[in-house]
């Protein structure tokens, strides 16, 4: 019984914390010195070059 209650509590805690995530974009800027798009190009489904968007998470 104790393991069941602990499991239910952990499941509830995991679900509630996953639903509580909210991110806000504080800035968006061009990194002119970043060469990732030139050194590691990627193609989309139409075989055209894609943009590179890097996300930095500070938390």
pLDDT at 54: 86
pLDDT in tens, 6-40: 898 888 888 877 666 677 888 888 888 888 888 99
pLDDT at 17: 72
Query: Structure tokens of 10?
Result: 């952990």
pLDDT at 22: 75
Tokens 């894609």, residue? Answer: 50
Greatest distance between any 2 Cα atoms in the chain: 59
Query: Structure tokens of 41?
Result: 């190009």
Domain spans, the chain? 24-59
Give φ, ψ of 24 to 5 degrees: -125, 135
Q: Say how far apart CA 52 and CA 41 lie, in whole Å.
A: 9
pLDDT at 30: 86
Q: Say how far apart CA 44 and CA 15 lie, in whole Å.
A: 34
């Amino acid at each position: 019984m104790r393991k069941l209650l602990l499991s239910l509590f952990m499941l509830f805690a995991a679900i509630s914390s996953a639903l509580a995530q909210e991110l806000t974009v504080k800035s968006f800027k061009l990194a002119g010195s970043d060469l990732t798009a030139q050194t590691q190009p990627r193609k989309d489904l139409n075989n055209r070059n894609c943009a590179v968007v890097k996300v930095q998470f500070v938390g």
